[in-house]
Amino acid sequence: MLNSSTCFEVTGLTKIYGEGSAQVRALRGVDVTIRDGEVIVLLGPSGSGKSTLLNILGGLDTPTDGHVFYHGVDLTTMSDRDLTSYRRDNVGFVFQNYNLMPGLTAEENVELVTEIAANPLKAAEALELVGLGERLRHFPSELSGGEQQRVAIARAIAKRPGVLFCDEPTGALDSTTSLKVLRALNRVVEELGTTMLMVTHHQGIAPLAHRVLHFKDGSVDREVINETRARPEDIHL
Ligand SMILES: Nc1ncnc2c1ncn2[C@@H]1O[C@H](COP(=O)(O)OP(=O)(O)OP(=O)(O)O)[C@@H](O)[C@H]1O
């Protein structure tokens, strides 16, 4: 297992959406500790709270109760302004939809982030890391779905975030393309040491994790530790 310090300490995390009869308990007192450099895969049925946990840890949403400490600092008591700084300085997000700017090239899409980051990779370096060093001047419409997702990954990691959150990053891709995207993510975590949390419906991705959290009804129902992480070359989707 990793010999590193605590990245996230999550205690009693509860999220209730809505009120009265429309109330949904998305998280029911989640306790989990995540270490720096860990790769975590979150699995579980639709609606079991995976994205809600990711969004709260990423500072995109706030809990109803409980605490999230990032390197010892409690996100749940931060002002909106501090939470914005936390997101800007520490967090990268990759979603199922690539959300690239259609009028900008791959390089320019990544530069949108590198221009405002403190110690970024060069956009070209970030694109090189995800295997798109030859596609800098291409527009999103000139790239395949998997290539567009890799631009989105380059954009997310160019600021060298401490944590990378991926919500169904391969959800819109076929298995061959998914493996290319997973290879790019794997290279990022290995070369930059980024902590990564990935929500997926694809059980076959689980061997890539140090630890797999199985969600059920807003809780972590079961946790599986992989003694050895598989490489993307070794899994079949
Ligand atoms: N903004 C919101 N308003 C109201 N309910 C919400 C909101 N976001 C999520 N929920 C509800 O909270 C519960 C948990 O949702 P969440 O998206 O975390 O699940 P999930 O495990 O990520 O599901 P999926 O695999 O389908 O993405 C669901 O019942 C969902 O409908």
Return the CATH number at 229: 3.40.50.300
Task: Give the ipTM.
Answer: 0.95
Q: Which residue's C-alpha comes closest to atom 26 of ligand 1? A: 46
Residue 25 lies in a domain: no
Beta-strand relationship, 163-167 and 91-95: parallel
Element of type H or E holding 141 = none
Going by pLDDT thresholds of 50, 70 and 90, the confidence category of residue 13 is very high
- 159-204 residue pLDDT tens: 999 999 999 999 999 999 999 999 999 999 999 999 999 999 999 9
Q: Does a structural domain hold residue 4?
A: no
Query: For the residues 117-137, what does the mean pLDDT come to?
Result: 94
Looking at the structure of the chain, the number of domains it has is 1
Does the residue 54 lie in any domain? yes
Tell the burial category of 217 from Cβ atoms under 10 Å away from its Cβ (0-12, 13-18, 19+): middle
Domain of residue 209: give its range. 36-60+92-234
> Is 109 part of any domain?
yes
- Cα distances (Å, whole numbers) of residue 22 to 48, 76, 214, 216, 226: 17, 24, 26, 20, 39
Which residue of 28, 43, 46 sits with most ligand 1 atoms within 8 Å of its CB, as the best mutation to test the pocket? 46
Cβ proximity of 67 and 53 under 8 Å: no
Tell me whether residue 55 is in a domain: yes
For the segment 3-12, what is each residue's pLDDT rounded down to a tens digit? 679 999 999 9
SS3 123: helix
Q: For residue 116, what pLDDT is reported?
A: 85
Q: Ligand 1: distance of its center to the CA of 56 in Å?
A: 12
Give the residue whose CA is nearest to atom 7 of ligand 1. Answer: 17
pLDDT at 4: 78
Does 2 have pLDDT greater than 70? no
Ligand 1 atom nearest residue 15's Cα:
12
Domain-located, residue 80: no
Predicted TM-score (pTM) of the model is 0.94
pLDDT digits (tens, 9 = 90+) for 40-69: 999 999 999 999 999 999 999 999 999 999
The answer to whether the CB of 156 falls within 8 A of the CB of 126 is no
Does residue 132 sit within a domain? Answer: yes
Burial of 163 (0-12, 13-18, 19+ CB in 10 A): buried
Query: What share of the chain has pLDDT > 70, as a percent?
Result: 99
1 has pLDDT over 60:
no
Tokens 């694809």 identify what position? 202
> Domain for residue 166, yes or no?
yes
**Could you tell me the distance, in angstroms and rounded to a whole number, from the CA of residue 28 to the centre of ligand 1?**
13
